[in-house]
Structure 1
Amino acid sequence: MGTLLTGSHTPRARLRELLAAGEPLVAPGAFDALTARLVEEAGFDAVYMTGFGTTASLIGRPDLGLLTGTEMVDHARRLAAAVELPLIADADTGYGNAINVIRTVHLYEQAGVAGLHLEDQVNPKKCGHMAGKAVIPAEEMTGKIRAAVAARRDPDLVLIARTDAAAVEGVDAAIARARAYADAGADLLFVEAPTSEEAIEHVATKLRGVAPLVFNWAEGGRTPPIPLARIAELGFALVLFPIGTLLAATAGARALLKTLKNDGIPAEAMPGLPTFDEFTDFIGLPEAKTLEARFGAGEER
């Protein structure tokens, strides 16, 4: 089970070490605690709590700002508790103005996240790869970033400023916003949804040396799927793969359910799936049995 460690070995300190290592840190998306454990099992060094996937998994609806800050914090707490990896979490717009951002940062920090990102969309927001977005004034977002920095109790908590302005005001305006957010104290900059490799290179070139950069490799989104080697050449520090696990889980469940509907039993869909024992081992049954033997846990009388 995940723990909040102390000293230089905390997930937050580890995240900062990974971001400073000189190679892009790859953070696959997790939409629940089980997916986060699968990311950890696969050997990745960090995990990303996707807002898109959180919305889909909790309420089965699109990422249109439908979840409250409380729901997002509760979900982040479950993911952080499930793994030892640093958890980077979507914190949407901070769920209000600068005062709300202060509370959001406090709650995410208490939940155990190693990093979070705040975006400059209006509230309610939309997925960064959907049409019809709108952004708040840059000055207002700068104030929200300053509030987040002031609210941070652990200096190792990584604060990421995301701008969605490229789709609304153009790439150069998004770059100007990112610079302002860096001046306000953001640790990383996240220019969402550039729509060409030329735009990606322009962002990387103009923001080189300002602050480390985030690349959102949104599966099927508006940003072209460029190779990781190219992302590294451009100097991005963090690469998010937000919804691949969600899409894979959907495809797998859909295939099994189709077989069950057609055949009356799921037998033909079972080959390749974990066995019952393999799955219970993965989610920690042996550990629970060890604890039962150690502490004499049994049925209450």
Structure 2
Amino acid sequence: MGKLLRQPTAPRARLRELLAGPQPVTAPGAYDALSARLVEEAGFDVVYMTGFGTTASLIGRPDVGLLSAAEMIDNARRIVAAVDVPVIADADTGYGNAINVVRTVQAYEQAGVAGIHLEDQVMPKKCGHMSGKAVVPAEEMVGKLHAAVAARRDPDLVIIARTDAAAVEGLDAAITRARAYAEAGADMLFVEAPTSEDDIARVAQELKGVAPLVFNWAEGGRTPPIPLERIGDLGFALVLYPIGTLLAATAAIRSLLATIRADGTPAAALPGLPSFGEFTDFIGLPEVLDLEQRWGS
């Protein structure tokens, strides 16, 4: 798991194998290398690099298009290096026009991700569950997806086309866009932020057989929190849980800080925390000590 000396793996082929299985693949969000390792330790087969969480963790600001491609790709590279399971990364709008998308896809591929999703919002974009979004013309997004497919060097890299049109142009337009994006070569389709279970079911029904589908179980977002069994019955292939880890970390840190503020020390909180030894074991200190024994001076 995320070892300094790792055996070569084929995470992209593994992701495609998982997505072809009978049950939806669940991918909790990670916003940094440590949260990615925790996702892997918990037994999940895929890590999702959340753009919302990346923005919050890197600059402490909302997901409104403030990060550059370089910042996002650098975070993806660190997350990939920390785990052995496939990583799917948020690639926002591709950070420009179709030519920019070529460079974006190749840079994410070089970072080692197994998949990315590209969305049809106007740049600067916003979190898919925020108001005030705008989308580019469908024809422009189709061109960007053609560019993305042509740009990848590894055909196993999964390219996910996300449309945010449901909140802007309505669900009919979003489904029409999704069909066009599949025709442009997208491997998976991601209709963002349907606001009712009926709308979720309609997306699944109308896009069945067009391409595998992504469901964004955005914690506290606009999409109803339906059970995983129902999601699987509807035929979704991939379920993202983008910000639960970020929200949990925020709550835990607030609780610890409140204890320190009230008591003057964190002593009362320590029984609920990993010990120093447990944590250093988890992040790989035994491996480092072993390497020092083998090769240290």
The TM-score range, normalised by the shorter chain, is over 0.9
Aligned positions of 1:104-253 closer than 5 A: 104-253=104-253
What is the CA distance between 1:166 and its match in structure 2? 0.2
1:4–1:112 contact (8 Å) kept in structure 2: no
* Residue identity in the other structure for 2:280: T
What is the CA–CA distance in structure 1 between the aligned matches of 2:269 and 2:180, rounded to whole Å? 52
Structure 1 unaligned regions, length at least 5 = none
Q: State the distance in 1 between where 2:103 and 2:241 align.
A: 28
Matches within 5 A, 1:1-301: 1=2, 9-297=9-297
TM-fit CA distance, 1:71: 0.2
CA displacement at 1:272 relative to structure 2: 1.6
- Runs of 4+ deviating beyond 6 Å: none
* RMSD between aligned residues: 1.0
CA distance in 1, matches of 2:47, 2:115: 10
Shift of the 5–238 alpha-carbon distance from structure 1 to 2, 3 Å rule, reads farther
**1:80/1:202 CA distance change after superposition, 3 Å:** same
- Distance in 2, matches of 1:175 and 1:291, equals 53
Count of aligned residue pairs for this structure pair? 295
Q: 2:271 is paired with a residue of what secondary structure?
A: coil
CA distance in 1, matches of 2:45, 2:188: 18
How far apart, CA to CA, are the structure 2 residues paired with 1:240 and 1:62? 19
Shift of residue 4, structure 1, vs aligned partner: 8.2
1:232 and 1:221 mapped to 2: Cα distance? 20
Task: State the identity as a percent.
Answer: 76
CA drift at 1:22: 1.6
TM-score by length of 2: 0.98
Cα gap change, 1:150 to 1:172, in 2 (>3 Å): same
Give SS of 1:271's match: helix
For residues 239 and 6 of structure 2, the distance between their equivalents in structure 1, rounded to whole angstroms, comes to 24
Distance in 2, matches of 1:254 and 1:267, equals: 15
User: Partners in 2 of 1:165 and 1:148 — Cα distance?
Assistant: 20
Corresponding letter in the other structure for 2:278: E
If the length of structure 1 is used for normalisation, what is the TM-score? 0.97
CA deviation string 1:131-189 (max 9, x = no partner): 00000000000000000000000000000000000000001100000000000000000
The one-letter amino acid paired with 1:11 is P
